[in-house]
Amino acid sequence: MSEIDIHHLGAAYALDALDARERAAFEAHYHECDICRDDVIQFRETLADIAGSAAVEPPASVKDRVMAEVARTRQLSPLLPEGVIDLAERRRRRRRFLAPALTAAAAAIVVVGASIIVTRDSQPAYADELAAVLAQPDGQIVTLADTRAGAEDGSFKVAWSATEGRLVLLGDALSVAPNDHAYELWLIDESGAHATYILDSASDGDVRAAIDLASQPTAWGITIEPEAGSPTPTGDVIFLGEV
Amino acid sequence: MRDVGAVRLWRDRAATSSASSGGNTLADLLVRAGRGDASAFAELYDELAGLVHGVVIKVVRDPAQSEEVTQEVFVELWRLAARYDESLGTVKAWATTVAHRRAVDRVRSEQSTRDRHDREIRNVVIDYDEVSESVETRFDTARVRRAMDRLSPIQRESVDLAYYGGHTYREVAVLIGVAEGTVKTRIRDGLIRLRDELGGSQ
């Protein structure tokens, strides 16, 4: 997708009229493009004005159900401003997580994915990676389905391109993993499930990673594992997306 | 944070157009809700329920399913309350965005599990007139109707099919039998015109 194309997707984006692939590409772009961001902000106000002129009150029972649900629903923490996160602490934590995990994964014969570039302190890097992956003719993106019955807890998307040899993992609005546990991404191919991205507790609700891709997936899965990582899945597969 | 340009514009609009019960603005209520204040959230619900449900029901159509989606939208707003960022738009715009996205996700996931050929395409085209009519029965429609009337019929058709039909612009192109680029342009020109009309008459 060329740069010129992407600048013209703001209106269709505001209308939710992009397919998943274009939506992801535009989202990666517009956070860094003042013109597109202003366009989207203004179009959304316009649509809210139009929607406001056609309000329809729901039955009172809906409010009762909402408030009952609210009473038992945990709220996500606010996003921290950039720079507030203690980078040294983050690095220390990552090293601690990563070392045993990689050793364990190597022992299990196949290691898919070595370099990990993560999260808020490298947001632009991830956005560029996503745009690069989706710009390839074989660039794909899948939304992983939540496999827990009735669960309503965040979302995972994986974008990847064999040509680019990279995958980008986007987790949003997730619950924080239980103590000493973290989300783990598995690339599933004909030879089995391979630990691909290890260890993000989603303490800020989000998971962002760009990782080398070493094999063609037939499916992607997410489990929650002990924070040291597991060479093979031990937790239930909570998100699954087939290619 | 310093108010500049578009940020100030939207903040001013939030302050003037979103005043609510007890002198609280919607943004105030949302901030309190973000700290876990359920009674503030209940007030916010009262202010936004018509807006949210109006969007949802026009996209989803089925009343029972629409109620479910409206419920999901408000639980989502509750979960995300602390993450609302005033510099990215008013509370109403945020709620509308969440509502529309949810509604579209619902109809698309239904569609993908169903055969969707000629029969449905005909239904969609018929439904779209119905939507335009229901819009006009509500209060405060004069300004919006004037703005809508400024759209060319082909712009309006493309915007309606995308927004209320829940179709991607590529699908709209198939529905009305024109090139994708043409639909993209109509949607863009149509929204710019609506924005200019509605913004100008504030």
Whole-number pLDDT of residue A81: 56
* Distance, C-alpha B176 to centroid of its chain: 23
* Contact residues, chain A, for B90 at CB < 8 Å: 45, 48
Whole-number pLDDT of residue B161: 94
Which residue in chain A is spatially nearest to B6 when comparing CA positions?
A: A38
Sheet holding A155-161, edge to edge: A116-118, A207-212, A166-172, A155-161, A140-146, A237-242, A219-226, A181-189, A192-200
Of residues A189, A181, A186, A137, the one with CA closest to residue A163: A137
Which residue in chain A is spatially nearest to B35 when comparing CA positions?
A: A75
Cα–Cα distances in angstroms (integers) from residue A28 to residues A122, A126, A130, in the given order: 13, 8, 7
SS3 state at A50 = helix
Task: Answer whether A48 sits within 8 Å of B92, measured CB to CB.
Answer: yes
Is the ipTM here above 0.85? no
Residue A83, phi then psi, degrees to nearest 5: 95, -15
Task: Answer whether A48 sits within 8 Å of B51, measured CB to CB.
Answer: yes
Which residue in chain A is spatially nearest to B55 when comparing CA positions?
A: A51
Q: What's the predicted TM-score (pTM) here?
A: 0.64
* Contact residues, chain A, for B34 at CB < 8 Å: 75, 78
Going residue by residue through chain B, which has 202 residues, state the pLDDT in tens, using 9 for 90 and above: 333 444 444 444 444 444 444 456 899 999 999 999 999 999 999 999 999 999 999 999 999 999 999 999 999 999 999 989 888 899 999 999 999 999 999 998 777 666 444 444 444 443 444 444 343 344 457 888 888 899 999 999 999 999 999 999 999 999 999 999 999 999 999 999 999 988 754 4
Whole-number pLDDT of residue B99: 97
> Roughly how many angstroms between the first and final C-alpha of chain B, as a whole number?
25
Whole-number pLDDT of residue B143: 84
